[in-house]
Amino acid sequence: MRARGFTLVELVLVIILLGILSVYAAARFSAGGYALRAAAQELVEAVRFAQQRSMSNSGAARYAISIQPGGFRVTQGGADVPNPMTGQSPYTDDGWAGKGISTNAGITLEFDARGEPFDAATGNSPGVVDVTLSKGSETALVRIQPITGYARVQ
């Protein structure tokens, strides 16, 4: 009675096919996409931090986040605040250009005691704020809602 199993040719073909698929999959997951997604998530966390600090401070000295093409900066009453994770001041990410990341935005949002965002230049509610981060052909959209100030990566 002959034992059933795979032949050496069949095993080699399967290994070759898996190798081809892994090369294709690795090309689809570029490092640039991860850096872009990380920058977008970090921006969302900074917006939420500024909003929460304004709410816990009763809006006495509003926290603000300035989003510019090269990155963002969090301030309170115009003064830099330390990064809540590292303790280093200022709380900023101005290294987007070094990572090849850019944005279409140029806005400074302040948050009142209820967490509502306001355009620092006009003092009015900015409506929905869409910040598009891009790196090459890849993009990530960060949307900040009016009234609630809820920020998320789309």
Ranges 28-32, 47-51, 101-105: which has the least confidence: 28-32
Per-residue pLDDT at 105 exceeds 70: yes
Q: Which two tokens stand for residue 9?
A: 């040719």
Residue 29 is predicted with a pLDDT of: 67
pLDDT tens digit string along 114-139? 999 999 999 899 999 999 999 988 89
Q: Tell me the pTM.
A: 0.78
CA atoms of 106 and 121, how far apart (whole Å): 11
Strand 117-119 with 107-111, pairing: antiparallel
- Beta strands (DSSP E) in the chain are 63-68, 71-76, 79-80, 91-93, 102-103, 107-111, 117-119, 129-135, 138-144, 151-153
Q: Which two tokens stand for residue 43?
A: 């921006």
pLDDT-derived band at 18, boundaries 50, 70, 90: very high
Residue 31 is predicted with a pLDDT of: 58
Q: State the residue for tokens 């890849």.
A: 138
Residue 27 is predicted with a pLDDT of: 67
Question: Which domains does the chain show, CATH number per domain?
Answer: 35-153 (3.55.40.10)
Close Cβ partners of 21 (under 8 Å, ≥ 6 residues apart) = none
Return the H-helix or E-strand segment holding 18: helix 8-28
pLDDT-derived band at 28, boundaries 50, 70, 90: low
Residue 79 is predicted with a pLDDT of: 93
Q: State the residue for tokens 């003092």.
A: 123
Question: Residue 153 to residues 34, 42, 80, 133: CA-CA distances in angstroms?
Answer: 13, 10, 25, 10
